[in-house]
C-alpha cells in the first residue's frame, strides 16, 4: 500500500505551513493565509498569493489567517487550506497519504481533535501528531533517544515552545502565546506610541526582519518606513533604528526569558547539568531576530545557538519521524504527555 501513497509531514504553523514529502524533503513553504470571496464562499487564493492581499482587500474579499496562536481558530478554512496544500504536493491520488502534523506542546484535547479531523477531511488516510519541540529537536540534528538532556526553544509565529527533551520524550515544557506575531504587534504599538504613526502588519514584519534585534548590536542600523500619521491622517515617512527595536521588543522577549527560566526551575538537576554541557538550541523563525541567542545566553549563562535553517527545523524533524510512523499510535502524541494530562 505505502508503495503508492506518499507519507507527508506537515508543520502546521500560525505564520507558515511547511510540507515534507518522504523521499523528497521540504517541497512546500507558504504562509498560512487564505483568501475567500465572502459572497460566494469560494476559495480564491492560498499561501503566498493570499498573503499579498492581507490588509489590501476590497469589500467582498477577505484574506484570513485560519490559525491563531498555534491552534485552529477557523476550522473550515484550515481544512480547505490543508486540502489545497496536500493537492499541490500529491500527484497520484488513488491512495490517501498518511500524514503527521506538528502541534504546540500545550495543546488541549479539543484542539488536538480539531487538527486530526481537519487532516482526515483534507484527505489523509491516517493522522499522527508530534509535538513541535520534539520535531524541532530532531530537525536540529539532536539524537533525542539517548538519556541526555537537551533544551529546545522553538519560537514560531503564534507560540513559543520551550522543552527539555530526554529519551525521546518531553520531561518539562511550556508553551506560551508570545512569538513572532506578538513581536510584530509590539512594533506596531511602539511606533504608534513613539512616532504617532500607524503601520500595517506586513510593514511591522518587514521591519522586524530587517533591523529587529533584542540585544545591542555591534553597529546601529536604521531603516526608512512609511505609515499613516495619526495627527494628520496623511502618509508619513520616518526612520526607525535598531535600538528602538530593542525597546519595542523588550516586553515579549522578557516573557520568553521568564518561560525559559521557569522550565529550567522545574527540570531535574541531572538534566540541568546536561543542558549546561549541551547548550540551548533555538529553532523557528522567531529565533532569527538578531541577538536572541546572546540575550538568552546572558540571562541563563548557558551557551545558546540557533540551529541551521531554523525555519525548516520542525518540518525536517516531522519528516524524519515519518520513518518511524509504523510504531506510532494514531492521533496521539507521545505518551509521557498523556500521563500528565490524565494524571
Secondary structure class of 9 (helix, strand, coil)? strand
Residue-wise pLDDT tens digits, 44-63: 888 888 888 877 778 888 88
What's the total number of domains in the chain?
Answer: 3
Checking if the pLDDT of 144 tops 90, the result is no
One domain for residues 84 and 204: no
Q: What is the pLDDT of residue 334?
A: 47
Q: Is residue 31 part of a domain?
A: yes
Give the range with max mean pLDDT: 70-74, 298-302, 338-342: 298-302
One domain for residues 199 and 284: no
Pairwise pLDDT comparison (55 vs 127), residue with the higher score: 127
Q: What is the pLDDT of residue 11?
A: 87
Q: What is the pLDDT of residue 249?
A: 93
Q: What is the pLDDT of residue 55?
A: 74
Q: What is the pLDDT of residue 325?
A: 65
Q: What is the pLDDT of residue 278?
A: 92
Cα–Cα separations (whole angstroms), residue 166 to 54, 107, 146, 163, 233:
41, 20, 7, 10, 55
Average pLDDT over residues 111-120: 86
One domain for residues 336 and 275: no
One domain for residues 172 and 184: no
Q: What is the pLDDT of residue 199?
A: 92
Q: Is residue 253 part of a domain?
A: no
Q: Is 102 left (phi over 0), alpha (psi -120 to 50) or beta?
A: beta
One domain for residues 130 and 241: no
Under the banding of pLDDT at 50, 70 and 90, the label for residue 326 is low
Q: What is the pLDDT of residue 5?
A: 60
- DSSP one-letter code for 290: B
CATH number at residue 12: 3.30.420.40
Q: What is the pLDDT of residue 128?
A: 87
One domain for residues 13 and 80: yes
One domain for residues 209 and 278: no
For residue 151, give its domain range: 142-178+259-311
Residue-wise pLDDT tens digits, 259-314: 999 999 999 999 999 999 999 999 988 898 889 999 999 999 999 999 988 888 88
Find the range with the poorest average confidence among 28-37, 64-73, 130-139, 140-149.
Answer: 64-73
Under the banding of pLDDT at 50, 70 and 90, the label for residue 327 is low
β-bridge pairing 126-131 and 98-103: parallel
Average pLDDT over residues 229-258: 92
Q: Is residue 214 part of a domain?
A: yes
Cα–Cα separations (whole angstroms), residue 56 to 48, 52, 65, 152, 173:
14, 8, 14, 37, 39
Average pLDDT over residues 182-206: 91
CATH number at residue 223: 3.90.640.10
One domain for residues 324 and 196: no
Q: Is residue 221 part of a domain?
A: yes
For 179, the grid coordinates are 512569538
One domain for residues 148 and 271: yes
One domain for residues 163 and 300: yes
pTM value surpassing 0.75:
yes
Amino acid at each position: 500500500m505505502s508503495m503508492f501513497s506518499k507519507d507527508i509531514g506537515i508543520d502546521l504553523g500560525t505564520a507558515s505551513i511547511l510540507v515534507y514529502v518522504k523521499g523528497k524533503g521540504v517541497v512546500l513553504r507558504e504562509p498560512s493565509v487564505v483568501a475567500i470571496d465572502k459572497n460566494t464562499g469560494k476559495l480564491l487564493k492560498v499561501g503566498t498569493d493570499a498573503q499579498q492581499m492581507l490588509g489590501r482587500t476590497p469589500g467582498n474579499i477577505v484574506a484570513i489567517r485560519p490559525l491563531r496562536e498555534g491552534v485552529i481558530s477557523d476550522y473550515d478554512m484550515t481544512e480547505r487550506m490543508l486540502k489545497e496544500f496536500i493537492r499541490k504536493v500529491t500527484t497520484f491520488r488513488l491512495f490517501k497519504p498518511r500524514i503527521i502534523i506538528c502541534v504546540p506542546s500545550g495543546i488541549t484535547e479539543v484542539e488536538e481533535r480539531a487538527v486530526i479531523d481537519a487532516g482526515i477531511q483534507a484527505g489523509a488516510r491516517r493522522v499522527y501528531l508530534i509535538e513541535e519541540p520534539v520535531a524541532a529537536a530532531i530537525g536540529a540534528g539532536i539524537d533525542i533517544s539517548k538519556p541526555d538532556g537537551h533544551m529546545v526553544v522553538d519560537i514560531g509565529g503564534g507560540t513559543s515552545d520551550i522543552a527539555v527533551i530526554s529519551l525521546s520524550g518531553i520531561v518539562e515544557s511550556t508553551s506560551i502565546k508570545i512569538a513572532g506575531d506578538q513581536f510584530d504587534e509590539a512594533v506596531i504599538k511602539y511606533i504608534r506610541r513613539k512616532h504617532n504613526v500607524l503601520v500595517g502588519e506586513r510593514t511591522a514584519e518587514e521591519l522586524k526582519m530587517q533591523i529587529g534585534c533584542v540585544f545591542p548590536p555591534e553597529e546601529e542600523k536604521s531603516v526608512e518606513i512609511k505609515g499613516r500619521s495619526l495627527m494628520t491622517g496623511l502618509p508619513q515617512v520616518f526612520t526607525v533604528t535598531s535600538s528602538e527595536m530593542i525597546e519595542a521588543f523588550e516586553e515579549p522577549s522578557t516573557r520568553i526569558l521568564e518561560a525559559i527560566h521557569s522550565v529550567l526551575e522545574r527540570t531535574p538537576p541531572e538534566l540541568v547539568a546536561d543542558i549546561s554541557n549541551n547548550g540551548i538550541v533555538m529553532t523557528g523563525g522567531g529565533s532569527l531576530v538578531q541577538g536572541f541567542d546572546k540575550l538568552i545566553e546572558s540571562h541563563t549563562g548557558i551557551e545558546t545557538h540557533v540551529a541551521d535553517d531554523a525555519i525548516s527545523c520542525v518540518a525536517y524533524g516531522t519528516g524524519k519521524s515519518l520513518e518511524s510512523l509504523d510504531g506510532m499510535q494514531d492521533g496521539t502524541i507521545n505518551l509521557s504527555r498523556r500521563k500528565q494530562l490524565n494524571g
